[in-house]
Amino acid sequence: MTEFLKMHGLGNDFIIFDWRDGGPERIGEAAARVLADRRLGIGCDQILVIRDTAVADIRMDILNHDGSPSGACGNGTRCVADYVMRQTGRDDLSIETDGGQLRAWHAGGGEIAVDMGPVATGWREVPLAHEVDTLQVPLGIDGLGDATCHSLGNPHAVVFVDDAEAVDLARLGPLVEHAPLFPDRVNLSVVSRIDEAAFRMRVWERGVGITMACGSGACAVGVAIVRRGLGLRQNRIVMDGGAVQIDWDPATGHVTMTGPVAHVCHGTLSPELDALLGEPLLESGHGAS
């Protein structure tokens, strides 16, 4: 029977499969949706699969709640890094993902840091449907102003508002995610200032919906703060599930996130859920997120 691990980073929760010794080549969308369902399956925001690789210490594949693939997951990266480092006794780790190779390490105080790599700010890299200055992108959606857009292996739109709590994210999130401007869909973060170096963020994740935290989204917010001249390079980003520290170095383009992770449980799939992993794979109708 197939074993799994459940972890979360600030309430952003994950099913983790350690398939370094072999496992299915892919998890089909239908199986992923059942596993991620909080009533029919285990329940999670994303599914993470650890595999062997020749180019890093490990490889991590990412599936969203709806079964679509994702190129980046900051909180998930910290969770997987903590698990593998505890298992191996290491203090740092290199991780191959579809969004690029990442590095994670113990930051002290029980927190894990991850270098999420360089941030892409060109309109083609996000990607956007047409050329536009990614510093201020008109969304054309009532209730939201211009967004700052960039990619961390997945596309992000960051909108600064007077009060993030007052934004109807459940209504606006799907409109932005599926807007024609974003051919691969997009993650939306709405952000308001708390103080000079702290910002409140609420997030709608593509392929998931509203989540308690989003690591790559927090990184995107940290980058947007500096790009828009709203703060220095180090900022505390406060989400529904808690806070992370984001440090973006414009000189290298690299962004580092530091925060806590938590182990929830370790278990074995039931025969019914285990059988889903062997079902025929369906082609995804979604773009990578």
Active site residues: 73, 214
Eight-state DSSP code of residue 287: -
Say which amino acid occupies 206: R
Interstrand relation of 12-18 and 46-51 (parallel, antiparallel or unpaired): parallel
Residue type, 246: I
Number of alpha carbons in the 13 Å side-chain half-sphere of residue 171: 7
